Amino acid sequence: MKVRTRFAPSPTGFVHIGGLRTALYNYLFAKKHAGTFILRIEDTDRTRFVEGATENLLSVIEWAGLTPDEGPAGGGRFAPYYQSQRTEIYVRFAQQLLDKGFAYYAFDTPEDIEALRKKAQENGGQPPKYDYQTRGQMRNSLTMSAAQVKDALAAGVPHVIRLKIPSERVFEVNDLIRGAVTFHSSQVDDQVLLKSDGYPTYHLANVVDDHLMEITHVIRGEEWLSSVPKHLYLYECFGWQAPQMAHLPLIFNPDGSKMSKRDITSLTALPAGKVDPDVASYIKKGYEKEAIINYIALLGWNPGEGDERQVFTLAELVNEFSLERVNKSAAIFDLKKLDWLNAQHIMRRNIDELTDQVIQDLQTQQHEIPARKYLKQVVELMQPRLPFRTQFYDLSVYFFKDPEQYDPEVVKKRWKEDSIKLILEFVTESAKLEVYEKTAIEHTLHTIAEREQVGLGRIIHPIRLAVSGTGAGPGLYEMLEVLGKETVIRRLQTAVKKIPALI
């Protein structure tokens, strides 16, 4: 059996972190088994239509590198992949169910449904259910005569088609993550399959398409588990074999609540205990794609007991992934871990590629682009200390401009009465160096420290401050080498004039 998985989102606005995880796991599982990954747009709920939502979704999937083998963009054997373009298929299959007596027409008005709701409330606040207990009192083809039904249809009375769920049945699914899960049919309502606008509901369209598109594994969020009995019954009515199913654990905010976009204005000002569920916010903030994918993969999956690896590329994830290693329990979104992975992925990037990306960032930020060779050296020094690639310029600005200010905290802490003298000695010694490179610089600094009988820190810290204006950065020797002798001497001479005035 050739594995075929699908990501079947309903584009109703933004792409949720959980949605991207579903897409990712489907992709990983398909690729791991040399199978096919399908993207299907479930856009039959016209009341939830949001302009641009589908385009947004397609671009996030593309951005993530989860290119489908079949889908709206590239087509495929089972096109179209937009459910809104497949309505006649669903109508045909709904008719089959009607013909076989598995479904029925219902002509109830909104008032009839409201009355059902009220009655249910009076009967102890049970949620209203249109089911085996109530269907006999409603306006439908089970209670009306054949002639009445015919007339109503001919007159164009608004109606839906409902699935006739049997009263005494137990449905069981052997979920690949959760194990055996059973459902009693008395808990299930007579699901609307075809709505009065002629569009199918999710349940009908989903089952029909999963069958027609030969989906072997349905991998989706746990919120869909409660739909399983309806789907199983539909497969049974059609005489089709149901695909295997795997329901992924939910993802919660750090405070244990459901992730929601409400109350979230920006990633930098998150309410306590909350995170942003919108993938676009993370892209906008400048997280590396690899870090987002890696982090999302770990939201519910791990490489195995005792396996401490955390950093994975997409290709490595394909190799490692298995549904057996997906947790049953909910995952908690941890922004700190994502941040950590972001730095890890920057650290592992090929230096030329990273330099190219930094050039692009600098262009976007409208900074002047330095000579590539010089920039590459700076990138190499900054690579292990970049939380975000987009912060490169701010964190390394002194490689491009002489400092205009000196961090007052560092001045207070590091500038001592002998700083000027030590710096000037270093200037004199540096001038003598023919090759200005890190070992020679290190050696010079050691010599001065010994001669003056001071600790190395006493000389290193003021130099860093004088050259960069800050107290942190890459190793000093490497930094001075990259800056070059001339620049270093010029900056040191300026600093010994300017810094004392700040004290």
Q: Which residues are catalytic?
A: 261
Rounded to a whole number of angstroms, the minimum distance from the CB of residue 169 to ligand GLU is 21
Amino acid code (one letter) for 22: T
Alpha-carbon gap, residue 350 to 400, rounded angstroms: 22
* 224 near ligand GLU (CB under 6 A): yes
Strands (E), 210-349: 217-221, 244-248, 251-252, 331-332
Q: Please report how close the Cβ of residue 344 comes to ligand GLU at its closest, in angstroms.
A: 30
DSSP state of 301: B
Query: Which of these ranges, 8-16, 116-124, 331-339, 451-459, lies near ligand GLU under the rule CB under 6 A?
Result: 8-16
**Helices 419-432 and 485-498, packing angle to 10 deg:** 160
Q: With the C-alpha atoms ordered 391, 393, 394, 396, is the resulting torsion angle positive or negative?
A: positive
Question: In the complex, what is the shortest distance from the CB of residue 258 to ligand GLU, in angstroms, rounded to a whole number?
Answer: 15
| Contact between residue 415 and residue 450 where contact means Cβ atoms under 8 Å apart | no
The residue (of 8 and 378) whose beta carbon lies closer to ligand GLU is: 8
Q: How far is the CB of 219 from ligand GLU (least distance, A)?
A: 8
Residue 430 found at the interface with ligand GLU (CB under 6 A): no
- Residue (22 or 342) nearer to ligand GLU, CB: 22
Closest to ligand GLU by CB, 222 vs 288, is 222
- Closest approach of ligand GLU to the CB of residue 338, in Å: 23
206 contacts ligand GLU (rule: CB under 6 A): yes
Q: Residue 220, interface with ligand GLU (CB under 6 A)?
A: yes
Residue 200 binds ligand GLU, judged by CB under 6 A = no
Q: b vs e for 132-149, b when ≥16 Cβ sit within 10 Å of the residue's Cβ?
A: beebeebbbbbebeeeeb
CA 166 – CA 37 distance, rounded (Å): 35
Judged by CB under 6 A, the number of residues near ligand GLU is 8
9 binds ligand GLU, rule: CB under 6 A: yes
Closer CB to ligand GLU, 202 or 426, in the complex: 202
Is there binding between residue 42 and ligand GLU (CB under 6 A)? yes
State in angstroms the smallest separation of the CB of 275 from ligand GLU. Answer: 20
Nearer to ligand GLU, 42 or 175 (CB): 42
102 touches ligand GLU by CB under 6 A: no
Between 22 and 383, whose beta carbon lies closer to ligand GLU? Answer: 22
SS3 for 308? coil
Read out DSSP for 322-355? -GGGB-SSPEE--HHHHHHHHHHHHHHS-HHHHH
Alpha-carbon span 441 to 492, nearest angstrom = 14
What distance lies between CA 328 and its chain's CA centroid?
A: 20
Pick one of 29, 81, 130, 202: the residue that binds ligand GLU (CB under 6 A): 202
* Residue 6, φ and ψ in degrees, nearest 5: -140, 150
Element containing residue 180 per DSSP (H, E): strand 179-184
Q: Name the segment binding ligand GLU (CB under 6 A); options: 2-10, 296-304, 368-376, 385-393.
A: 2-10
Q: Which residues bind ligand GLU (CB under 6 A)?
A: 8-10, 42, 202, 206, 220, 224
